[in-house]
Amino acid sequence: MLRYILHFVAAAAVVTACRSPGSTAGSGPSPGASGPPASLVARNHAFLEEVRYHDLPRLGAFFPESGSLTYVHVDHLSRGDSVSIKVFSPSEARAALERGPLWDAFIVQYEEQVVGLLGHQVQVRGSRWQWVSGTRFVPPGAEASSPAFVEWRREGRRWVLSAFGDEAFGDGSAGPVWLTRQEPAHR
């Protein structure tokens, strides 16, 4: 649990530090509010549906046109967790989607799939992720500090990705608990 909390704090610090002027990353309903705006829930679901159906060219429509996009990846290894945080400018993000780490995060391979990457999370856990706070969504049943998450910010009148995260299990580490549960994927 502590490793996920530390990961969440580190990712939040990077996202906050990388915000562009005038953006509202991490802002959302005030404390005590009943939930996120319907437009944010719809945008998150539409994004995850594009991930589910592997429509990589259309994913760029969710990327920011100014400011940055942060990708947080946790590798669960037998010797401990390794967290990498990559911050992309708008042009770098689009290039990384075509031939880089963002491509790897979103694509689903039917053979030798890396368990825990964002595309795999959506395939296994569905596209109706739960809102946990601010503009953060996590897979169904996951804790707010989950390494798999999507966060949004406003850019003008539209919601754009601010940050997202995923994970991978390898090197003899125990697999994810959520994969062993027999829960139906929520669409």
pLDDT digits (tens, 9 = 90+) for 28-69: 344 555 789 999 999 999 999 998 887 777 888 999 999 999
Task: State the helix-helix crossing angle for 38-52 and 118-125, rounded to 10 degrees.
Answer: 100
Other CB atoms within 10 A of residue 18 CB = 18
Can you give the pLDDT at residue 26?
Answer: 40
Is position 61 within any domain?
yes
Between CA 145 and CA 5 the distance in angstroms is 6
Average pLDDT over residues 3-8: 40
- Cα–Cα separations (whole angstroms), residue 80 to 101, 109, 145: 22, 26, 18
- Write down the pTM of the prediction: 0.75
- Most confident range (mean pLDDT) of 23-27, 137-141, 171-175 is 137-141
Can you give the pLDDT at residue 57?
Answer: 77
Average pLDDT over residues 129-138: 96
Between CA 20 and CA 70 the distance in angstroms is 12
The vertex-113 CA angle with 112 and 116, nearest 5°, equals 145
Is position 41 within any domain?
yes
Can you give the pLDDT at residue 112?
Answer: 65
**3-class secondary structure, 47:** helix
Is position 185 within any domain?
no
Does residue 71 carry a pLDDT above 60?
yes
Between CA 93 and CA 103 the distance in angstroms is 10
Is position 17 within any domain?
yes
pLDDT tens, position by position, 84-95:
999 999 999 988
Average pLDDT over residues 2-31: 40
**3-class secondary structure, 159:** strand
Is position 18 within any domain?
yes
pLDDT bucket at 144, cuts 50 / 70 / 90: very high
pLDDT tens, position by position, 110-120:
666 677 888 88
Is position 176 within any domain?
yes
Is position 186 within any domain?
no
Between CA 113 and CA 131 the distance in angstroms is 27
pLDDT bucket at 174, cuts 50 / 70 / 90: low
The total number of structural domains that make up the chain:
1
Is position 143 within any domain?
yes
Tokens of 42: 């719809």
Q: What is the span of the domain harbouring residue 114? A: 2-26+34-180
